[in-house]
Amino acid sequence: EYFQILNDKNTKFNNVTISFDGIDYFATFNIDFAEEEWELTGKNVGCDINSNVNGWLVTSDEEKEYFDIDHENQMVKLINRIMAKCTNGSKKWKKQKIRLLKWYHQRSNKLDDYIEKLSTEMVKKYDTIVFEKNYSKIKILIGGEQNMVFPLTKFITKLQDKFARHKPQAEGVVFVDAKYTSKKCHFCANINHELDVKTRKWKCPNCGKTLDRDINAAINILNRGDYGNSLENAK
């Protein structure tokens, strides 16, 4: 998206700032440009947020998002072990430190690129994206042995920013109370109070439907925002 903006003939460049972080040089462009408007699709989606093992984000369209930086984290761990065996400040130690910084950058860039692409894809596809309102308290661990916390607030801010810039007429990001969305059957609205946290698939004791816990929750989140086949009046 950013390369398209820079190459657009209508983009006006005001100034460029060059910075250096000790390894790489970066160029920051100050520009004026006309925002591209994306067409409304009439589609809405509910999103359930959970652990990366089962898909950190699961939608009411039965799509599951995974993100893996285990390789990057393993390299960081390996280089830290090598540095621990070197004399602090030695030539070998300094060389490994540069390697370490490069892997930190690669890990960060991979995550930023993923968030950029996924947020663009979702805003183009949907006019309304419904999340549980306590999302800021949810910690999504990614990356294997050396887990990082997925920057969920950053991702949702990206969605909101792109709706404002490219689809200002759309409903955009909406938040709802997610109470019982995992335990409530979206077919019959019965709440399974006996459902435990570890169970990923369950059979509704009332209607007999087999449910994927996360997809069921995402559908209920969508319904709770009144963008799906709402069962809000059911107990």
Residues 184-194 pLDDT 10s: 999 999 999 99
The predicted-structure confidence for 45-56, as pLDDT tens digits, reads as follows 999 998 777 789
Higher-confidence residue of 203 and 10: namely 203
Residue 101 confidence (pLDDT): 92
Q: Please state at what angle helix 70-84 crosses helix 91-125, rounded to 10 degrees.
A: 170
pLDDT band at 70 (very low <50, low <70, confident <90, very high): confident
In a domain, 95, yes or no: no
pLDDT band at 227 (very low <50, low <70, confident <90, very high): confident
In a domain, 84, yes or no: no
In a domain, 166, yes or no: yes
Alpha carbon distance 35, 53 (integer Å): 37
* C-beta separation of 130 from 47 below 8 A: yes
Our measurement of the distance from residue 205's CA atom to the centroid of its chain's CA atoms, rounded to an integer in Å, reads 33
* C-beta separation of 148 from 142 below 8 A: yes
Residue 217 corresponds to which tokens in the numbers above? 């929750």
Regarding whether 166 and 62 lie in a shared domain, the answer is yes
**Taking the chain, what is the end-to-end CA distance rounded to the nearest angstrom?**
45
Write the CA distances from 39 to 10, 84, 110, 127, 186, integer angstroms.
21, 54, 28, 9, 30
Average pLDDT over residues 69-79: 91
In a domain, 151, yes or no: yes
Largest CA distance in the chain: 69
Regarding whether 169 and 219 lie in a shared domain, the answer is yes
pLDDT band at 229 (very low <50, low <70, confident <90, very high): low
Regarding whether 47 and 19 lie in a shared domain, the answer is no
Regarding whether 129 and 180 lie in a shared domain, the answer is yes
In a domain, 55, yes or no: yes
Regarding whether 171 and 62 lie in a shared domain, the answer is yes
The predicted-structure confidence for 142-174, as pLDDT tens digits, reads as follows 776 567 889 999 999 999 999 999 999 999 999
Is the model's pLDDT at 14 over the cut of 50? yes
Residue 102 corresponds to which tokens in the numbers above? 């490069």
In a domain, 177, yes or no: yes
Regarding whether 22 and 52 lie in a shared domain, the answer is no
Contacts of residue 222, Cβ cutoff 8 Å, sequence gap at least 6: 44, 45, 46, 60, 130, 228
pTM attached to this predicted model? 0.81
Average pLDDT over residues 199-208: 94
In a domain, 149, yes or no: yes
Regarding whether 62 and 1 lie in a shared domain, the answer is no
Helix (H) or strand (E) holding 38: none
* Cα dihedral 181, 186, 189, 195 sign: negative
Regarding whether 51 and 161 lie in a shared domain, the answer is yes
**Average confidence score pLDDT of the chain:** 87
Residue 51 confidence (pLDDT): 77
Residue 149 confidence (pLDDT): 85
Regarding whether 52 and 30 lie in a shared domain, the answer is no
Regarding whether 52 and 11 lie in a shared domain, the answer is no
Is the model's pLDDT at 72 over the cut of 50? yes
Is the model's pLDDT at 81 over the cut of 50? yes
Regarding whether 201 and 163 lie in a shared domain, the answer is yes
- Domain tally for the chain? 2
Q: Which domain holds residue 30?
A: 1-34
Is the model's pLDDT at 13 over the cut of 90? no
Regarding whether 210 and 179 lie in a shared domain, the answer is yes
pLDDT band at 231 (very low <50, low <70, confident <90, very high): very low
* Radius of gyration of the chain from its Cα atoms, rounded to whole angstroms: 22
Is the model's pLDDT at 82 over the cut of 90? yes
